[in-house]
Amino acid sequence: MLKVDGINVYYGNIQALKEVSLEINEGEIVTLIGANGAGKSTLLKTISGLLKPKRGKVNFKGDEIAGKAAQSIVKMGISHVPEGRRVFSNMTVEENLELGAFLRKDKEGIKEDFNKVYDLFPRLLERKKQQAGTLSGGEQQMLAMGRALMARPRLLLLDEPSMGLAPLLVKTIFRVITEINETGTTILLVEQNAHMALSIANRAYVIETGRVVLSGTAAELNESEQVKMAYLGGH
């Protein structure tokens, strides 16, 4: 479904991604593991059109998308839930969700997706008239995910969904990620919590200082000594 081929991305003179390649098949959950500053968020931003690679290709369902405008990439079926949630804090929950469907014209389908989001996140239904800025961190994360789903993506990019959340909420968020995947949405997940990420992923890539240094099935990476030492706290 997605093929990233040898991309190089720079911030000014600093090279953030070096010849990064990866593939995602339809229906998979693929996770990217790496330390802070390894280039994981940069990779998601490049796929979703927020950054432009200097070299290399990004191919989505047969179309070259590297360098396309972010909104046309959303239209093609890729939604990005950014790190730090980025909800519109002075708008209500409902208005935030409406914005997720901004590029759509199918009123019935939008109504259906509102219900789907409220089914996944009943808390958002309770808070739908509340300003997003008054929600807890976990609720804002649910809203950011719900807003992305309102675009009806084929591929969902999730950047650190569990960051700063209480353990119980982390479990909820990961359960919902699995449910979203089971309804047919392919997922690329960036996550510091390697244990949780590998527990739900089909495959994984490890990225260090802008390079992919390891890849394999989630089970293989879970067993890898290198991954255990660096990301799983040595157990």
- Domain membership of residue 32 (yes or no) is yes
Residues 165 and 71 in one domain: yes
Which of 152, 180, 199 is the last residue in one of the domains? 152
What is the model's pLDDT at position 230? 86
Residues 201 and 146 in one domain: no
Q: How far apart are CA 94 and CA 42, in angstroms?
A: 29
Residues 69 and 161 in one domain: yes
Residues 1 and 64 in one domain: yes
What is the span of the domain harbouring residue 23?
Answer: 1-77+153-235
**Contact assessment for residue 8 and residue 18, using Cβ atoms and an 8 Å cutoff:** yes
- Domain membership of residue 207 (yes or no) is yes
Written as six digits, the tokens of 116 are 């789907």
The reported pTM is 0.90
What is the model's pLDDT at position 137? 84
Q: What is the pLDDT of residues 168-180, one digit of tens each?
A: 888 888 998 999 9
Which of 101, 123, 152 is the last residue in one of the domains? 152
Residues 143 and 158 in one domain: no
Q: How far apart are CA 154 and CA 48, in angstroms?
A: 13
**Contact assessment for residue 89 and residue 54, using Cβ atoms and an 8 Å cutoff:** no
Residues 199 and 224 in one domain: yes
Contacts of 215 (CB under 8 A, 6+ apart): 22, 203, 204, 205, 206, 221
Give the number of other CB atoms < 10 A from CB of residue 161: 24
Per the structure, the count of domains in the chain is 2
